[in-house]
Amino acid sequence: MARTWFIGALLILVSALFVGNVWQSYRYTRMERDVQSLRREHLAVLEENKRLIVGVAGLRSPRRVRAIAEEELGLIPLPADRIQRIDIGRGTGGE
């Protein structure tokens, strides 16, 4: 009788270990697929970031700013005699 219980328990244990091994293999495969997907997404985001940085550099260029100011906003550069510089000294902040 004890031998029958031992064999039954051993069969249940081996079956449980087999099912556990299959489950772990499935989880590993799924995680590996997720990691590959995240790597592809990461590379795509890096490429997009590079394109955006180049775009920002182009938008910040003085030539581009001047073109937008003149063509789209209708602004014109001031002559040098119309520019006034104001010098604010230190220590006049009410201290």
Per-residue pLDDT tens over the stretch 16-61:
999 999 999 999 999 999 999 999 999 999 999 999 999 898 888 8
What's the angle, vertex CA 32, arms to CA 31 and CA 36, rounded to 5?
115
Ordered by start, the domain boundaries in the chain are: 49-74
What pLDDT is attached to residue 92? 58
Rounded to the nearest integer, the mean pLDDT of the chain is: 90
Q: What pLDDT does residue 14 have? A: 92
pLDDT of residue 57: 86
Q: Are 75 and 69 in contact (CB under 8 A)?
A: yes
1 pLDDT tier (thresholds 50, 70, 90)? confident
